Amino acid sequence: MNIFLETYGCQMNVADSELVRAILVKSGHNLAKSVDDAEVILINACAIRENAYRKIYGRLDAFRPLQRKMKQDQRPFIVGILGCMAQNMKATLFRHPVVNLIVGPDNYRALPSLINKAALPQQGKRKPLEIEANLSEEETYSGITPARFDGVNAWVTVMRGCDNFCTFCVVPYTRGRERSRSKEEIIEEVHDLARQGFKQVTLLGQNVNSYRTDGAAFADLLLAAAEVQGIERVRFTSPHPKDFPEPLLEAIASHPKICKHIHLPLQSGSDRILKLMDRTYTQDEFIRLVEKIRAVIPGVSLTTDLITGFPSETDLDHQETIAAMEAARFNSAYIFKYSERKGTIAARKYSDDVSPEVKTKRIVQLFDLQHEIALELNREKIGQTMTVLIEGESDKRPGIQIGKTDGNMTVMFSETGLAPGEMIQIEMTEASPSVLTGRNLDLTVLSF
């Protein structure tokens, strides 16, 4: 059958979609280039934010005319929801008239048979749903090589699930408990990626600090990946601030191919809110970790996640988050309004009592502060020459290429004639909160 796959959400969803493509192709299905060419539409969707739900339900509603047309033509038409949303919202999704397939993150091996079953002729007004959404304590998709698109970076999932049970987070309920892939299998995958021409790999896990297999810790895995010939850069995401091991810092500092960038989720600067979130560290402990990281890895780029408007958050709690941001001085931050997630501890125990207006006011303040800090940090880079990995062409500016520094900062510069994946020395000439502008090898200045 012709199958069109859409992906919404984080890097883990992107990596999972690569697994799904591999499973489907191996089973004899075809990957369609558009919805119009498909008999099966699969949506791999995130469950973390409320906006994701609204977007997906709007997308499902848009398929109703296509469903009617396919029915009139007496052609099969299957719409399936995959991933965290399928796992967390299967009862709600069951009621949507276009959905007839629901498959959770641990059940992708069953997709081909479920699709074939859903395609069988049915009696009655509405097809029954095929639902496979059971969590596993063992599934790591060992033996499946993800079907990736060409590019510079490849996502490599090193572990699945999470054992932290932060009160706001749905991941332990949608992706199950932590389990790690074998080091040998991961490194063989990295070798294969190098043979395919990928120049960068990003190792993925909900909490990579917890990676453990056959006596190997995450630092061992990171160093082994960096030794693979043909791979120029190794990144990872995300660690948890509660248990950042010394060997991991030493590995990042010591190896030139391991990028000097750490995504370190703070979530809140208030000790009271952090306790309600069950984050298991205080603001002081977090800032001391930041200071330690910067002492061991000079010039490291630090990014973070923040949630504003968590239940019972007061103006004082908000001010403590502002103080933490000022102390940590992150290079960038993903900042979200708290949205209650079905099944989480926070949804069961706490009332979502911070008004939308207050959440909006606070998130604007955090955005403004972060933009100010990021602009100051980026302006410090003006005049420096930095190594940039070319990622491609600008979609909006003809003749402009885009790349990333070791610290994961975006750089724009004039066309060089070099292909994506090449490394180039760029002298930084201008800065905004989110982008650096540079002078490339032919000394042509890119000016906005």
Q: Same domain for 364 and 423?
A: no
The answer to whether residue 296 is domain-embedded is yes
Q: Same domain for 225 and 273?
A: no
380, 408, 423 — which closes off a domain?
380
Tell me the torsion sign for CA atoms 419, 423, 428, 431.
positive
The answer to whether residue 339 is domain-embedded is yes
Report the predicted TM-score, pTM, of the whole model to 2 decimal places.
0.93
How open is the CA angle 170-173-177, to the nearest 5 degrees? 115
Q: Which amino acid is at 403?
A: G
Edge-to-edge strands of the sheet including 78-82? 30-31, 2-7, 40-44, 78-82, 101-103, 130-132
The answer to whether residue 123 is domain-embedded is yes
Q: Same domain for 114 and 168?
A: no
Q: Same domain for 358 and 415?
A: no
**What pLDDT score was predicted for residue 329?**
98
The CATH number of whichever domain residue 184 belongs to comes to 3.30.750.210
Q: Same domain for 303 and 210?
A: no
**What pLDDT score was predicted for residue 444?**
47
pLDDT value at 164 more than 90: yes
Please state the domain count of the chain.
Answer: 4
Q: Same domain for 296 and 366?
A: yes
Q: Same domain for 6 and 128?
A: yes
Q: Same domain for 429 and 357?
A: no
Domain, as residue range, for 177 = 148-259
pLDDT value at 53 more than 80: no
The answer to whether residue 367 is domain-embedded is yes
Q: Same domain for 281 and 373?
A: yes
The CATH number of whichever domain residue 108 belongs to comes to 3.40.50.12160
Give CA–CA dist 334/67, Å, rounded.
Answer: 37
The pLDDT tens digits for 63-85 are: 999 888 888 888 888 999 999 99
The answer to whether residue 445 is domain-embedded is no
**441 confidence band (pLDDT: 50, 70, 90):** low
Percent of the chain clearing pLDDT 90 (strictly above): 82
The answer to whether residue 444 is domain-embedded is no
Give CA–CA dist 448/440, Å, rounded.
Answer: 15
Q: Same domain for 7 and 46?
A: yes
Q: Same domain for 226 and 187?
A: yes
The CATH number of whichever domain residue 395 belongs to comes to 2.40.50
Tell me the torsion sign for CA atoms 110, 113, 117, 118.
positive
**What pLDDT score was predicted for residue 126?**
59
Q: How many helices (H) and strands (E) does the chain have?
A: 15, 21
- Give one DSSP letter per residue of 186-254, joined into a string: HHHHHHHHHHHT--EEEEE-TTGGG-EETTEEHHHHHHHHHTSTT--EEEEE---GGG--HHHHHHHHH
Give CA–CA dist 369/151, Å, rounded.
Answer: 34
Q: Same domain for 242 and 270?
A: no
**What pLDDT score was predicted for residue 362?**
98
The pLDDT tens digits for 203-226 are: 999 999 999 998 899 999 999 999
The answer to whether residue 26 is domain-embedded is yes
132, 167, 189 — which closes off a domain?
132
Better-scored residue on pLDDT, 322 or 341 = 322
Percent of the chain clearing pLDDT 70 (strictly above): 96
380, 397, 431 — which closes off a domain?
380
The answer to whether residue 138 is domain-embedded is no
What does residue 184 show for φ and ψ, rounded to 5 degrees? -60, -45
